Structure 1
Amino acid sequence: MLEREDVRIAFSLRPLASGGEVKAGADAWASFTLTDPRTGEPLAGQRPLAWMTPRAGEQAPDEKGCKTLVSEFLGGLLSRKADVDMNGYMAVTLNEDNTLSVINPQLAFSRTKLFSLISLTGAPADWVLHPSKESLFLSLPGANRVAVVDTVRFRLRGTVPVGKGPTRLALSPDGGLLAVGNDGEGSVSLLDAKSQEVLRTLPVGPGPQELVFAEEGRMLWVSGRGGEVLSGVDVDRLEVVERLEVGQGVTSLAVSDSARAVYAAIPSRGEVVVVDSAGRKVAQRISLGEGVERVALDPSGRWLFALHRDTGKVSVVDTATGQPRHVFEGLVSPDFVTFTPQFAYVRDAGDKRLLLIQRESLAKPGEPVTLRIPFAQTLPGKGDEAEGAAPVVPTPDGQGVLIASPEDRALFFFQEGMMAPSGSHLNYGRRPRAVMVVDRSLSEVKPGVYASAVKPSQEGVYEVPLLLDSPRRAVCFEYRVAPGATAQARVPKVEFTALFDADKRLHAAQTTRLHFRLVNASTKRPLRPQEVSVLLFKPPGAWQRVVEPQAVEDGGLEVSFTPPSPGQYQMLVGTRTPASPLGKLPPLTLRVGPAEGPPPASLHVQETPP
């Protein structure tokens, strides 16, 4: 514990798996407790920054040395990178091929940094992150199950059988109850989110369903597109206690706890139905015109955004009056909206641009401030996304968004204040249907306690610098990490050898066979084609191909490469297991010139036997 005149700070580090000491390569939980030394009251609402780095030298840094460490980490110097950064986040993409890509954007946003690849047993329809940020739930309609992913270790924890055709998911605000809409049988399953035990399955009418928790989690409202009823489930009793006639074809629900209101979009009627959740009655019907398909409330709860996908417009309702305040027209097919503190971001399935609406200007006289920002090379498309999952999400600092672009097979990053994306992430040939941010930075888990999951990579003494914003102060703790088998040591590494001249200039429109070898580093066993993934792409990702390797007689592998145009291409090789997935091994650069002459049969260097 450290104490200064205006703050008392306690630091702890404990293993996630069990008690005892923290070992190298093991997951742990770091926490800082901030209190007022005079009163003992917790210092809530802080935004501390923290790192862990192996000690350099024999002595602990003095106050000046601690400030220097913090300055170096804040500056992002590649020469002084912390082993553990408690200030970042992971981007998770839900891919078309039933995988999740876990990407670390902090490493570099100019090229892909794949942290992990998680395979699922089916195509997810929706996903929701637990408030603790330790678990991710995904509905698998084809398997009649819900998958549970560990978002600390980023691995599949297991699956839970639910009803037929599960789609929509919703978590209670306290994270205790998971609601699963079973479209295939017109029911909703209620699960204990911690144990994943199915507590009860209730009939609610024909789907597709929408789910929202209201009244601070005491009530769950369920709509069925095939029926006319909005069902209210008492969370304590786990029973349907209300059935309200609202009209057939509800396609979207939004909830305001401050107003105790639920908003239901009905496209066929061109209206939004306002339900008084506490009074259990329909309070108002707001006529907005044809095709209002999705509704969402901004974080203030003041403005309800209604997206008219078929008619290409966005209506904004002032919830204080229940009347439309603004209409934005000229879009093709707006299908999603998300929010940062400054803007509403509207994605248009028929446009390569995002519509940004300044939230502050909505309450002012005159037309609101809007911007159109290009973000992709191809149209977002429609019909193949996971409807319940978000294709655009705000970054944790609230100063930008991440955008999943399926046809570009990439993520784009937009920073507010710029007029174009600030960077992009290739997704190794996979089409991202949605994106989610898992914030790994310190979060206030209870008043005055700030915590994050960490994984120190090596044994020995670590410096743990902490920077407080109010009062502005840098302090350093220390912690001795015990020896332990690192995660990398538990997984067999692989060795890649290119058996062709990578400097040889290739030619566009000509097929070349690239010969290489991938072996287990410990046993030297050559890997089989079914164990290997190969991606060929042209940065920044306009052309990408995932190719299947073929076995050759010498125990190596070959892939065919036909570059469509001149330029620089990259070849990525990885395993289909955690050993070395795509992105772990460095890429190989291939130079391609204009088309000319017959194609070479193969680029193959005969090895000289020892």
Structure 2
Amino acid sequence: MTPNDKEAWRSQAEVSVIVLAVLCMAAPVAFIVPALPRTEPTVPSEPTQGPQRLVKNGVVVEFSLLHPGDTSGPPRPLMEGDEAEVRLRMTDASSGLPLRGLSPSAWMDLGHLLSDKADVQQECKDRVGVYLKGLVGIRPLIDLNSYYLLVLNKDPSISVIDPVVGMTGKTSLYTTVVLERPGADWVKSLDQKRLYVSMPRAGAVAVVDANVFRVEARVQAGEEPTRVALQPDGHYLWVGNDASEPARSGVTVIDTQTLKPAATIATGRGHHEIVFSSDDRYAFVSNRDEGTISVISIARLEKVKDLKAGPLPISLAYSPLSRVLYVADGKEGTVTAFDGARLEEVARLSARPGLGPMRFSQDGRWGLIVNPAEHVVYVVDAAENQFVHGIPVSGQPYQVSFTRAFAYVRLLDSERVEMINLSTLGRGKQPTVQGFAAGQSAPKLAGDLSLADSITQASTEAAVFVASPSDNTTSFYMEGMNAAMGSFGNYGHNARAVQVVDRSLSEVEPGVYSARLRLPVAGRYDVALLLDAPRVLHCFQVEAKANPALKKALGALEIEYLDAPARLVVGQKPLLRFRLRDASTHQPATGLEEVKVLTYAAPGRQRAEVAARELGEGVYEVEPSLPRAGSYYLYVAVPELKLKYGDLPYRTLWVGGMSQNQTKREEEARGPRAN
């Protein structure tokens, strides 16, 4: 192949990629098979499971994909569904010293090898170029640089947004997690593989698999489960029960290994905030209407003491630096400090009534307490157990979040977010405050707000995402900028809180970069590695074998939506058809007796469930209930195969007003209008 031929092939490939992206956006097929153009038939070769070594531009790269813990001895074969660990060890070719502080990028996708080695790496380069463009529908099966933005909605759902795709100006909604009831609070597991979401109206906690973004379990969690908190070692999930009856008001403790309740402990009346000592010795639970803080032994799961810190304990915070518990009282306007080991009061600080949430910076040094009534943020120095600042802000502060360098203060009555530079805090210093707008209107205009944070740190240390509940958007802000760099829509849902699930490679030891993943399907994978400085671009190859037991257990189906327009008009009664196939054999899934369809209008109204009827050859038909104009979400479940709503890809439908023909017919029926 001549250089001109190769250049012509690359141009043709780019055109093909764009055409494929358009087809993926337009077609109703709800599954994507990654494919890229080839110039000649591929000749597969046997990939190696053990470490693979590359020397290029002065860098030695040792790549491996193994079961976690298989660092010595013969590696176990990898199969689809297995959890695996990618490890990239990078050293200097001359000195052998580890290369620290690099930012490698990597992608995994199904592929084959070309017999010509030069063409293999040229194809690898072309693939990486496509991935970096962020085209819709042309994404790798596994993106090892990615993170996902999760938005907790007012309706029973979680929007999962791919910011990488969204930054290109294309659609950024990756998927939607359907919940049984609306979520109140949520927390990630330490390894970010799970998300625990409290659902007060369901009396349960939803456990979301953050690898595939599906609800994997439902755990009974007592009456009115609201606040959720994960203790430092991750062993127990603590759920605050805001029950009206004193005997049922307290906490439910859930074992995160078995996903079963380990204890139910009554603590007192009122809403409960929960924090922990850094050594996992005690859990501290506030009882707002009781005016107490219950101390629970984590080892025995028993209440050992009640602390008194004022008539209205509004918030708790624990500093791992000073090992002191701080309790803010909203009525008296005091902050009481208790020694975390002796459980005795060591200081009582006086502010003004109206105190609200309190948080500590990531290093445990600075505690910030908001006072919406006074438009002030108070700062406690944990090293001294003293107030060092009362910082005025431009509105009513109601939430505080942190990056390493800044405290972000959300205002209730303004779209602005105030930023406090942590390096300017301390006795004798003048705090520096700046800010930016997140959205166009104040959060309080959205009505009821979530307990969960509306600000979260991005995958990098110096950036945040901010949810705007009244605008239903999420802004992205990088520190040092004068304004937010962009925003993401929420596709008809009402945003309440945000979280980030990070999937990117991280340096786990000097020169070793690692990430864990789950192999989604069997096949041969190309693993593309990109390093900017020094420049390295190379594709490794690994294989995952088929797992018959997994296929049998999943009863997996794939769905294809047929011949229904995405846009309808009010009064139109569409017959929606879809085809179900076995995911492993691709044969029609016939004879299913229980296929259900759920529709609801954004943001969660007009929920309706109907049964689908089989037409033959795996095609099923349903007449969904779409009574009013608006955006609708449609989900399919197959209970007999244990496929719940959200396990299969969903479909969106838009119902508009009357068409021009309908309007004309109605005008003709009414007769001529009087002049």
Shorter-normalised TM range: 0.7 to 0.9
The change in CA–CA distance for 1:547 and 1:145 in structure 2 (over 3 A counts) is: closer
Q: Which residue of 2 aligns with 1:172?
A: 231
Distance apart, 1:327 and its partner CA: 2.6
1:135 aligns with 2:198: no
> 37-46 or 424-433: which moved more?
37-46
Q: Please give the alpha-carbon distance, in whole angstroms, between the structure 2 residues aligned to 1:115 and 1:358.
A: 34
Q: Indicate conservation of the 8 Å contact 1:291/1:309, yes or no.
A: yes
Deviations 1:111-133 (A, max 9, x none): 54333322323333321111021
1:100 is the counterpart of 2:161: no
Relative to the length of structure 1, the TM-score reads 0.78
Query: Which amino acid is the alignment partner of residue 516 of structure 2?
Result: S
| Partner Cα distance (1:556, 1:524) in 2 | 20
| In structure 2, distance between residues paired with 1:215 and 1:497 | 56
Shift of 1:326: 2.8
Distance 1:268 1:472, change over 3 A: farther
Counterparts of 1:21 and 1:29 in 2: how far apart (Å)? 8
Distance change in 2, residues 1:556/1:597 (3 Å): closer
Distance 1:141 1:562 in 2: 30
Structure 2 counterpart SS, 1:360 = helix
> Could you give the per-residue CA deviations for residues 513-532 of structure 1, whole angstroms, max 9, x where no partner exists?
6776532146899xxxx947
Cα 1:359–1:115 shift into 2, 3 Å: same
CA distance in 2, matches of 1:37, 1:418: 36
> Any gaps of 5 or more consecutive residues in structure 1?
503-510, 537-543, 564-570, 603-610
1:229 aligns with 2:292: yes
CA distance in 2, matches of 1:549, 1:162: 27
Check whether the contact 1:498–1:517 (CA below 8 A) recurs between aligned residues. no
The one of 65, 75, 84 equivalent to 1:29 is 84
Rounded Cα–Cα distance in structure 2 between residues aligned with 1:453 and 1:30: 6
With 268-277 and 194-203 compared, the bigger mean Cα shift is at: 194-203
Q: Does 1:150 align with 2:222?
A: no
The residue correspondences of 1:8-23 to structure 2 (distance < 5 A) are 9-13=62-66, 21-23=78-80
In the TM superposition, residue 14 of structure 1 has moved relative to its aligned partner by: 5.1
Question: Partners of 1:6 and 1:175 in 2: how far apart?
Answer: 38
User: Kindly tell me: are residues 92 and 478 of structure 1, through their superposed partners in 2, closer, same or farther at Cα, counting changes over 3 Å?
Assistant: same
Q: In 2, are the aligned partners of 1:125 and 1:139 still within 8 Å (CA)?
A: yes
**Cα separation, 1, equivalents of 2:564 and 2:508:** 47
Give the alignment of 1:112-131 within 5 angstroms. 112-131=171-190
Asked whether the 8 Å contact 1:122–1:140 carries over to 2, the reply is yes
Alignment-derived partner of residue 451 in structure 1: 515
Tell whether 2:349 aligns with 1:283: no
Judge conservation of contact 2:375–2:396 (CA < 8 Å) in 1.
yes
Q: Mind listing any 5+ residue stretches in structure 2 that lack a counterpart?
A: 1-50, 69-75, 581-587, 591-595, 611-620, 637-644, 667-675
Match of 2:559 among 460, 469, 492: 492
Structure 1, 469-478 or 435-444: larger mean CA deviation: 469-478
Q: TM-score, normalised by structure 2?
A: 0.71
Q: In structure 2, what residue type is equivalent to 1:174?
A: D
Distance in 1 (CA, whole Å) between partners of 2:579 and 2:347 is 68
In structure 2, the residue matched to 1:567 is none
Q: CA deviation at 1:37?
A: 11
Query: C-alpha distance in 1, partners of 2:276/2:608?
Result: 49
Aligned residue type for 1:51 = W
The one-letter amino acid of 2:425's match is: L
Give secondary structure in 2 for the equivalent of 1:164. coil
Q: Secondary structure at the match of 2:482?
A: coil
1:499 shift after superposition? 9.5
* Deviation per residue, 1:206-247 (Å, 9 max, x gap): 231111111332221122112233222222232333333222
Distance in 2 separating the partners of 1:238 and 1:549: 42
1:560 and 1:191 map into 2 onto residues whose CA distance is 41
**Any idea what SS the aligned residue of 2:493 has?**
coil
Structure 2 Cα separation of the partners of residues 148 and 332 of structure 1: 36
Any idea what SS the aligned residue of 2:369 has? strand
Question: Mean alpha-carbon deviation: is it higher for 378-387 or for 89-98?
Answer: 378-387
What residue number does 1:507 align with? none
Looking at structure 2, the residues matched to 223 and 534 of structure 1 have their Cα atoms a distance apart, in angstroms, of 37
Count of residues in correspondence between the two structures: 564
Say if 2:147 is the partner of 1:89.
yes
Superimposed CA distance per residue, residues 250-274 of structure 1 (whole angstroms, 9 cap, x where no aligned partner): 1111111121111111111111111
1:56, distance to aligned residue in structure 2 (A): 5.8
Which residue number in structure 2 is paired with residue 199 of structure 1? 262
CA change 1:187–1:248 in 2 (3 A) is same
- Which of the pair is proportionally richer in strand? 1
Distance 1:147 1:337 in 2: 26
Q: Say if 2:128 and 2:528, in contact at 8 Å, map to a contact too.
A: no
Give the letter aligned to residue 464 of structure 1: V
1:322 positional shift: 2.8
Q: Deviations over 1:163-191 (max 9, x none)?
A: 33222222121211112222322322222
Measured after TM superposition, the shift of residue 87 of structure 1 is 1.1
Counterpart for residue 426 of structure 1 = 489
- Could you give the per-residue CA deviations for residues 27-78 of structure 1, whole angstroms, max 9, x where no partner exists? 6433216487999999987754321133463355699769947973785464
1:232/1:47 CA distance change after superposition, 3 Å: farther
CA contact (8 A) 2:166 2:172 kept: yes
1:364/1:470 Cα in 2 relative to 1: closer, same or farther (>3 Å)?
Answer: farther
Structure 2 letter corresponding to 1:288: A
Match of 1:518 in 2: 576
Structure-2 change in CA distance of 1:532 and 1:471 (3 Å): same
Assess, with a 3 A threshold, how the Cα gap between structure 1 residues 446 and 154 changes in structure 2: closer, same or farther. farther
| CA contact 1:512–1:601 (8 Å) conserved in 2 | no
CA distance in 2, matches of 1:193, 1:478: 35
1:445 and 1:223, CA in 2 relative to 1: closer, same or farther beyond 3 A? Answer: farther
Amino acid in structure 2 at the alignment position of 1:31: V
- Give 1:294 shift: 1.0
* Superposed displacement of residue 306, structure 1: 0.8
Which of residues 337, 341, 344 in structure 1 aligns to 2:400? 337
Distance 1:118-1:260 versus aligned 2 partners, 3 A rule: same
Please say if 1:58 is aligned against 2:115. Answer: yes
| 2:441 counterpart of 1:378 | yes
C-alpha separation between the residues in 2 aligned to 1:41 and 1:242?
53
3-state SS, counterpart of residue 127 of structure 1: strand
The answer to whether the 8 Å contact 2:526/2:539 transfers is yes
Identity %: 29
Contact 2:161-2:172 within 8 A present in 1 as well: yes
Distance 2:265 2:100 in 1: 40
Q: Which digits, 9 at most, give the CA deviation of each residue in 1:275-301, with x for residues without a partner?
A: 110232111112121211111111122
Is contact 1:309–1:334 with CA below 8 Å preserved after alignment? yes
Alpha carbons of 1:179 and 1:78: their partners in 2 closer, same or farther (altered >3 Å)? closer
| 60, 63, 72: which one aligns with 2:129 | 72
Output the amino acid matched with 1:72: G
The one-character-per-residue Cα deviations of 1:81-121 (angstroms, maximum 9, x if unpaired) are 54421111112222212222222222224454333322323
- In structure 2, how many angstroms separate the alpha carbons of the residues matched to 1:456 and 1:59? 29
Residue equivalent to 2:454: 391
**How many Å separate the matches in 2 of 1:181 and 1:498?**
45
| In 2, Cα distance between equivalents of 1:196 and 1:512 | 45
CA contact (8 A) 1:499 1:517 kept: no
CA distance in 2 between counterparts of 1:146 and 1:549 reads 23
Distance in 2 between the 1:558 and 1:193 partners?
A: 39
Shift of the alpha carbon at 1:312?
2.1
Question: Superposition pairs for residues 573-592 of structure 1, below 5 Å?
Answer: 574-575=634-635, 577-578=645-646, 579-582=648-651
Kindly indicate whether the alpha-carbon contact (under 8 Å) linking 1:66 and 1:474 is maintained by their aligned counterparts in 2: no
Distance 1:414 1:37 in 2: 36
- Whether 1:463 and 2:530 are equivalent positions in the alignment is no
Distance 1:78 1:411 in 2: 21
